[in-house]
Structure 1
């Protein structure tokens, strides 16, 4: 494990808020998948794929994909049951990873620079660890890798619904009492360390996306079943066999960047250093005053770290010109996180 480097900030365009990138639906193995395209703005750009987290969508990558468009030809996928993709029969981490693998194969763009946030991070770990031929590099933002203490996540209040028959109906009844505006504010307060970093435009986009979710009968079941699948992967991490995400992480051969927000309310902050220790060729970046979705809260910082990783891949003896004070070495003790 190494400390992450940051590239220069002035290589990126001035801040501007682009609308969500255009997308398209495409049939994949008999089911519709929705993918947003962020076309490259410079020749020689390499393919990238962005995978969102639980309850998110491809729009979670709008800003970061735009900043990296001069280096990466981006696609952001809506996982089954989320965004505009059709629901699935299974919502385990393994089934999501199989879907991502099939998309990379179907699109013919591999190997890709793979980005994953939260649940998307766990999915990306499985993709990179089981299909190294499809992944050129791996960037994980607050990956939802197994940890034992539910008090470390604000998702713990949802966990009882997983054990209640027809918990999705209870959840839908509860949500019907919350306006999309209030729900958007709650999500922003949970996912961002500083909610004032969310512009009015992005807030309105979040409200509209939530309004669409409320109209989809499959969204709540997909959310709860995905959470159940994620929790199951946590439990399996402590059992013998090759299914443990920590054992899979140890098999990753791609150069990997792991980013954690010190004020993350959803994933234990100790997870990011543990992931960096588990992956053989890794770099760790811990960001102060940042929450669960660093790619949305501080996209320029994440873009600088991603560019530094790309530069290292292409010029392994060179070093990025600047190093952020936000980079912190990982502690060696991590008693509540599953061993690799």
Structure 2
């Protein structure tokens, strides 16, 4: 599905079903140097089980055109415009990593438009080390390799992986490389800088009144579960589920993530 945002095409995957804004809507928001495809299983399942789905490509990522947004606040504003263009008045937001900050900020900006909030691999502040931030600016391929290693708990896929013989790490690495090819304007650095600079997380979290779910990776070294304590303290009504995965939990444990989201959305 493509919507026009001030003359610039914005893409959202609808899970293989025609989008119907009259159904309960779930919006998926990817993380840095990724696109909608990281939500392949979760978005498609929900689209075939009673929900309308929008798994967006953020500006400068995947099929969405235009320059990448440089702040989390700008991305949240963009998302609200996309929802309006798609005819969505209220939606559940599901965000991973950088996408979780965008979902959180969107819920803060427009609380009447967010029904539920699911934050995966989230933390605040989402600081990026100086070494990794500098590498993403000066040597994007090296940053891709570093993050790909840090984001996975194992070099090999788990026995439950839905694609036997498929390299989870290899697929993630290739996706990030493709994002660089699509947008050579230091995309990874722009994304990381936005995460590192976002300062409104605590205020945004304190303002959230809708149901909230945290899905945390037990082996996540990018956003360790203990680093989410500040957000959890600001949202005492939130529920937490931990899955046996690293930061790339949707790929390492797709069924466990889907089960958590499906139960929460019901």
TM bin, normalised by shorter chain, reads: 0.7 to 0.9
Cα offsets for 1:138-175 (capped at 9, x unmatched): 1110124215xx6xx6x6532235xxxxx84x325xx3
Q: TM-score, normalised by structure 2?
A: 0.84
* Residue number among 53, 64, 89 corresponding to 1:85 in the alignment: 64
2:149 matched to which residue of 1? 189
Tell me how far apart the structure 2 counterparts of residues 295 and 72 of structure 1 sit (CA, whole Å).
19
Where does the alignment leave 5 or more consecutive residues of structure 1 unmatched? 1-23, 162-166, 237-243, 312-340
Check conservation: 2:80, 2:106, Cα contact below 8 A: yes
2:35 matched to which residue of 1? 57
Kindly indicate whether structure 1 or structure 2 has the higher relative contact order, using CA contacts under 8 Å at least 6 residues apart. 1
Check conservation: 2:14, 2:43, Cα contact below 8 A: no
Check conservation: 1:188, 1:195, Cα contact below 8 A: no
Tell me how far apart the structure 1 counterparts of residues 17 and 63 of structure 2 sit (CA, whole Å).
23
Tell me if 1:232 matches 2:197. Answer: yes
Tell me how far apart the structure 2 counterparts of residues 285 and 252 of structure 1 sit (CA, whole Å).
19
Tell me if 1:301 matches 2:266. Answer: no
Check conservation: 2:101, 2:201, Cα contact below 8 A: yes
Matched position secondary structure for 1:250: helix
**Residue 201 of structure 1: how far off its partner (Å):** 4.4
Task: Map 1:197-216 to 2 at 5 A.
Answer: 197=157, 199=163, 200-201=165-166, 203=168, 205-206=171-172, 209-216=175-182
Check conservation: 1:192, 1:293, Cα contact below 8 A: yes
1:25 matched to which residue of 2? 2
Tell me how far apart the structure 2 counterparts of residues 65 and 52 of structure 1 sit (CA, whole Å).
12
Distance 1:220 1:260, change over 3 A: farther
Q: TM-score, normalised by structure 1?
A: 0.67
Distance 1:262 1:157, change over 3 A: farther
Distance 1:96 1:130, change over 3 A: same
Higher Cα Rg, which structure: 1
1:223 matched to which residue of 2? 188
1:35 matched to which residue of 2? 12
Tell me how far apart the structure 2 counterparts of residues 265 and 300 of structure 1 sit (CA, whole Å).
21
1:159 matched to which residue of 2? 133
Query: How well do the aligned residues superpose, as a CA RMSD in angstroms?
Result: 2.9
Matched position secondary structure for 1:137: strand
66-75 or 191-200, which deviates more? 191-200
